[in-house]
Structure 1
Amino acid sequence: MNRKMLFKLAVDLAMTILMLIEMAYYITGNTVHEFLGVIVFVLFIVHIFLNRRWFGTILKGKHNMRRILQIVLNLLFLAAMAVMIICGILISSDLFSFIQVNDDMIFRQIHVQTAYWGFIIMAVHVGFSWGIIINSVRRMTGIVSTSLIRTIGLRVLAALIVFYGVYASFEREIGFKLTVYNPFGTWVNDDTAIKFIIDHLSIMGIYICGTHYALKFIQREGQTATQK
C-alpha cells in the first residue's frame, strides 16, 4: 500500500472515530464537543481535498446502479456534514461564542438531526468501501490465503453485531432522533462511555454489513444476468 492511500485511510478512520465521539455529547461536555468538532471539520476538508478528482468524474464514464448510489450517497454525506458544521458554529457557546443568533433552537435541532443522519450515511459510506478496507488490512497483515473457519467466524461475528445493533437502535430511539423535533436529543439513563461506543459501533455495523452484502448480491445478480 502506498503512502497516499495509507494517509487517506488514516484520515477517514480518524474522522469516523471522532464523529462517533461527537455523538457522545452528554459524556464529553460542550467544550470538548466543540473542540473535536473543529478537528472533524479540518479532517473533512482534508478528505475532500484528497478526493477532489472524484468531483470531476461524476458525469463521466458508465453509470451503473452501484455508481449512481455511491454518487448520491457521497453528495448526501457532503450536504449533511456542511449543514451540521454550519449549524454547529451558529449555536456554539464556547469556541465561537462571538457569533450571536436570535433563536438558536432551530439551528440546534437541525444540527442534532443532521448529525444522526450523517452518522447513518457515514456507516453506509463505509459499507460501500468495506471490500477495499478488508483488502487493505489483508495486505498490511500479510494475509493472502482464504480460510473457511475465518470466514465463518467473521460472518457469525457480523451477525451478532447486527443483532445487537438492532436492539441498540430501539433502546436509543435512533428512528425518533432522525425524524422527530427534539433539539436536545435523548439519553440512556445508565449510559457509560464503553456502552455508548459499543452501542453505536453496533448500529454502524447494521448499515456497514447491510450495504456490503447488498452490493455483493447486486454484483452477483449482474454477473448472472450478463452470462445469460
Structure 2
Amino acid sequence: MKTILIVEDEITISRVLKAYLEKAQFHVEQAFTGDEAIAKYDALNPSLVLLDVMLPGKSGWDILANIRSKSACPVIMLTALGQINHKLTGLNTGADDYITKPFNAEEVVARVHAVLRRPAIIEGYDVKYFGGLKVDFRAHTVTLHGIELSFTPRDLALFLFLVQHPNQTFTREQLIEQVWGMDYEGSDRAVDLAIKRIRRALENWPVTEGEIRTLRGLGYQFVAYEK
C-alpha cells in the first residue's frame, strides 16, 4: 500500500482528501505546518506528497525545495493561487503537477494515480554511456562522473525517452502523448520547463559529449556520442 502525505493547513480539506485517498486504497498521513511536513516526510518516505503552498511556518515552496534536495518523490501542489506565474513557479521548481482550489476530490485522486504511474521498462536497453554520462534504463538512474543526478519521475521519464530515440525530433505534443500519457491535462509549456530542469541537471556534461537540442518550430532531440 502506497503512502500519501497530505500537507494542508485547512483541516476540512485535509480530511476530505484523506477519506477519498483511503477509499482508493492508499495509506494516508497528514501534516498541517511546514516544519511538521518536513519531519513527517523524513520519517515516512512517502510515495507522493500533496503539498499546499500557503502554510504556517515554512511555505510549500520551501518544502518542495527541501524534498527536491534529497529525493525525486512526486509532489502535487495544492493552492488557491490560480495565477499562471504561480503554476510556472511550481513546475519550474520541480513539482509534478499543480491543482488549483477549489477542486474535486475525485479529480485529485485521479491525478495522484496518473503521477504515480512509473515509466515502463524500456525493452532492448540496459546501460548506455555518453562520455561521462551513464544512463541505466532498467534501474532508472542517470549518473555523471559517478554522481547520481536528481530528476523528478516525470522529468526522468522524458529524458529516458529522448535518450532511447537519439537524433529524433519530437514536438511538445508528441512528448506529452508518448511519455506522460493522453490523460495529462497540463499545458504543453510544462515540456519546456521539464527540458529546462533536465538541462540544469546536465549542466556539467560537456557539449562535446552530447546535448538536448531545441529545433525552433519543430521540437526537441537528444544528440550524443555513445561510447
Higher RCO structure, 1 or 2 (CA under 8 Å, sep 6+): 1
Structure with more of its chain in helix, by fraction? 1
Q: TM-score scaled to structure 2, two decimals?
A: 0.28
TM-score by length of 1: 0.28
Rg (Cα) greater in structure = 1
